[in-house]
Amino acid sequence: MTIIDNLSWLVQPAETGLQAEVGPYGWLEQIIKLGIAALSLILLGLSISAYRRTSFRSMLYASVAFGLFAVQMVFEYLGDALGAGEPYNDIITPGITLAILVLFFMAIVRRGRTNQ
């Protein structure tokens, strides 16, 4: 058995989902989403650590953005793999993306000021 066979329950699309066609690489998409969520959590931890060392307020904005990105990827994964949140996926995902963009913008703008 391969690793993919052992973890197939993690990456199979939901039968109750509204997807018409998953395609041959649906499992790869799910693994990538989990990888993005894990990397986002690592970046969240690193940015919180950087904030503790430097006390730059802009790092807090970046930290929240990384955390929201992890939440978004987990939410998309659950929507695809388990069919969770189906009627609201089309509203929540772009809303989280908009919040991430605003937070990164705030981090850049706040960084340019001399008084943090």
Q: Which residue has the tokens 């904005």?
A: 61
Q: Which residue has the tokens 């008084």?
A: 115
The predicted structure's pLDDT at residue 74: 87
SS3 66: helix
- Take residue 2 and report the two structure tokens written for it: 């391969």
Q: What is the share, in percent, of the chain residues with pLDDT greater than 90?
A: 40
Q: Which pLDDT tens digit goes with each residue over 29-62?
A: 888 888 999 999 999 999 999 999 998 888 999 9
Q: Which pLDDT tens digit goes with each residue over 8-37?
A: 555 555 555 444 455 777 788 888 888 999
SS3 96: helix
pTM for the predicted model, two decimal places: 0.71
Q: How far apart are CA 8 and CA 2, in angstroms?
A: 10
Q: Domain spans of the chain? A: 26-112
